[in-house]
Amino acid sequence: MIVFDLNCGVGHVFEAWFGSQDDYDGQRERGLVFCPVCGDGEVSKAPMAPRISTGEGRPQADPQAMMRALMAAQAKLLSGSEDVGGRFAEEARAIHLGDAEERLIHGRATPTEARMLVEEGVPVAPLPFPVRDRTRDN
């Protein structure tokens, strides 16, 4: 895993983890990298200072343990959320407009749908890890 400092076209700076440089490049080319603050898809790498470890002081972080902890946190968050599958954009918009019961939801949205939701002021954010889709039909 590799962490990059990224920035969006609006100027937000954030960190994101990728499997490799090629993984980052591929996701960016497919329009899958968004700013978690504003949803902007114009994302590029921000200047980063290299981290040099002297082997002294703090123990080295275990990246696998960190990933497991993040995955557990996402699973806990999703346990109280309804999976609406491919109807995510429609449901999120309806909840935002007061046309549907207010509740936590998650599901799938295309990059275009996600961008439109952000532009409409609907509060959405991408999940850091893929969610196993048990109901690919909806």
Domain ranges of the chain: 2-45, 78-119
Give the pLDDT confidence score for residue 58 in this predicted structure. Answer: 61
What is the model's pTM?
0.52
> For residues 14 and 36, is the Cβ–Cβ distance under 8 A?
yes
pLDDT less than 50: residues of the chain? 137-138
Q: At what angle do helices 88-97 and 111-119 cross, to 10 degrees?
A: 10
- How many alpha carbons fall within 13 Å on the CB side of residue 4? 18
pLDDT one-digit tens code per residue, 82-113:
999 999 999 999 999 999 999 999 999 998 99
Going from the C-alpha of 48 to that of each of 26, 45, 99, 117, the distances in angstroms are: 21, 8, 45, 31
> For residues 117 and 109, is the Cβ–Cβ distance under 8 A?
yes
